[in-house]
Amino acid sequence: MGVEEMAVRLARLHGGDIEKAAFAGRYHDLAKNFDQETMDAYIRKYDLPEKLIGNNALAHSKVGAAILKNEFGVTDEEILDSVRYHTTAHKGMTLLDELIFVADVVEDNRTYSDLDYYQDLAYRDLDRACLEILEYTIGSLTSKGKEIDKDTLEARDWVFNKIKETENGK
């Protein structure tokens, strides 16, 4: 429930759709606890990219969106995308995408040392919070020698440019 509550809080602060934020926040991790065999079966069933096989951390968001669409009849593409990209982000994110991406990192049940900083930033400036979270994620994955998803790199560049355009009055 932490992500749902944070997504609603952020939606209220930033003018987002509260109902969509609540729904996406509630179901964003629908597939997170699937075992590897189940996750891989869903990846194949819904013809998702092969790179997701064996990678539950990345796959659960894509599988969750596919289940919401195909088994629960969710047709709202904005909700589906916010679930689909809550682990990687992506260029061209909507407000709902950013709300769910950031809420997943800053929800109250998290225990990392900089939580208060990131929560405060998310309350004040959602784009800047999104950018800093993406930069932290990229740095962390790089330092661990892990592959960085192309969507994450593109999202970082897109949010960076969005902020620069806003600062330049475009």
How far is the CA of 6 from the CAs of 26, 45, 56, 90, 95, in angstroms? Answer: 10, 32, 24, 20, 14
pLDDT, average across residues 44-69: 96
Convert the pLDDT of each residue in 67-89 to its tens digit.
999 999 999 999 999 999 999 99
What is the spatial distance between Cα 9 and Cα 73, in angstroms, rounded to a whole number?
A: 26
pLDDT reading at 34 higher than 80: yes
pLDDT, average across residues 31-59: 96
Q: Provide the Cα torsion 111, 114, 118, 123; round to 10°.
A: 80
Contact 102, 122 (CB under 8 A): yes
Contact 10, 122 (CB under 8 A): yes
> Against a cut of 0.75, is the pTM above it?
yes
* pLDDT score, position 170: 60
Convert the pLDDT of each residue in 93-140 to its tens digit.
999 999 999 999 999 999 989 999 999 999 999 999 999 999 999 999
Distance from chain centroid for Cα 106: 11
Q: CA nearest 83: which of 125, 11, 26?
A: 26
Contact 85, 61 (CB under 8 A): yes
Q: Provide the Cα torsion 16, 99, 65, 108; round to 10°.
A: -120
Contact 138, 150 (CB under 8 A): no
What SS3 class is residue 76? coil
Domains of the chain: 2-167 (1.10.3210.10)
* pLDDT score, position 169: 76
Convert the pLDDT of each residue in 139-167 to its tens digit.
999 999 998 999 999 999 999 999 999 88
Q: CA nearest 105: which of 126, 79, 124, 84?
A: 126
* pLDDT score, position 142: 96
- The neighbour count for residue 137, using CB atoms within 10 Å, is 19
